[in-house]
Structure 1
Amino acid sequence: MPYSSLFRSEEMSLIQLYIPQETAQLTVAELGELGLIQFRDVRISQLNPDVNAFQRAFVNEIRRFDEIERHLRFFTSQIAKSDIDMRPLAGDASNVRIRNANEIDDLEEKILEHERRITQMNSSYETLMKQYLELTEAKHVLRETAVFFKEAESRQDDIRNSFDEPTAPLLESEAQQDTIEQGEPLSFHHLNLGFVAGVIPRTKMQTFERILWRALRGNLFLNYAEIDELITDPSTDEMLEKNVFIIFAHGRELLNKIRKISESLGATLYPVDSNPDKRRDSLLLITGQIEDLNSVLQNTKNARVSELSGVANELAVWITIVRKEKAIYHTMNLFNYDVSRKCLIAEGWCPKNDIEQIQNALRKVTEESGSTVPSILNELRTTKEPPTFHRVNKFTSGFQEIVDAYGVAKYREVNPGLFTIITFPFLFAIMFGDLGHGFLVTLAALYLIIREKSLDKPGKSEFLEMFFGGRYIILLMGLFSMYTGLLYNDVFSRSLE
Structure 2
Amino acid sequence: MANQNQALDLDPEQSSIATYPMPSQHGYECNRIYTVTGLLRAEKALAFRKVIWRVCAQNALVQFFDIDNPIDDARAEEFVQKKIFLIMCQGDKLYEKIKKICDGFHASQYPLPDDEDHYRRLCMKVEQDLKDIQVVIEQTRQQHLKILKTVSQPQQFPTWIVQVTKLRAIFATMNMFQKTEKGFFAEGWCALNDYHLLNGVVEEINVRTGILGQAVVEKVSTTSTPPTYFRLNRFTQGFQNIVDSYGIATYREMNPAPYTIITFPFLFAMMFADAGHGFIMMLFGLWMVLFERRLQGKNNNEIWLMFFDGRYIILLMGIFSMYTGSVYNDIFAKSYNLFGTSFDPMASKMFANQTQYNDTFFDKKLEFYVPKGGDRTYPYGIDPAWQISSNKILFLNSFKMKLS
Q: TM range, normalised to the smaller chain? A: 0.3 to 0.5
TM-score norm. by structure 2 comes to: 0.45
Higher helix share: 1
Q: Which has the higher contact order (CA 8 A, sep 6+)?
A: 1
